[in-house]
Amino acid sequence: MYIRVLFFVLATLFSTQLMAQKTMPNEYTFWDIKGDSIKLTDIKYKHTLTLVLYDPGCDHCWHQAKDIADNLKKFKKTKFVWISINTPKAIAEFKDKYFPGKMSQNMVFLHDPKMAIFKKFDDFTETPNLLIYDKDKKLIVALPKSPPEKIYPYCHKRH
């Protein structure tokens, strides 16, 4: 009897853990800064994809962007997707300020006018927030307001 109860408890815990694994949200349509629609599943990447939920007018987001820009060589294996509810103009200005020219070649900047993805992650009350996904679109980690040295290890490992 004891073994059955133990087996049931372990099976329940294991299945709950599997159900808790989050995958990349693919049900939303965003707009790039040119006005074209795009889904996260349309974005190609090889190792990791880092979603950055941010606001171009946010002080913390400016520091986050500058830190990432200053350490960009460390992030060769990750595709950055910056998502904001702000206007496409503000998003483009943010991109040009922190990631001008070729610096943004491994980045995508998206507009979320309906706040769809922000509502999905309603436990995020401040910006920036980073969500790092592996090549199979499974969430590796969520990191609020993190410096590059905390982000890099998750983007660098092979998952």
Structural domains of the chain in order of their starting residue, each with its CATH number: 23-156 (3.40.30.10)
Model confidence, pTM: 0.80
Burial 91-101 (b: 16+ CB within 10 A, else e): bbebbeebbee
How far apart are the C-alpha atoms of 54 and 24, rounded to whole Å?
17
Interval 73-103: pLDDT, tens: 888 889 999 999 999 999 999 999 999 998 8
Q: CA triplet 70, 36, 87: central angle to 5 degrees?
A: 60
CA angle 52, 33, 77 (to 5 degrees): 40
The DSSP bridge partners found for residue 107 are 80
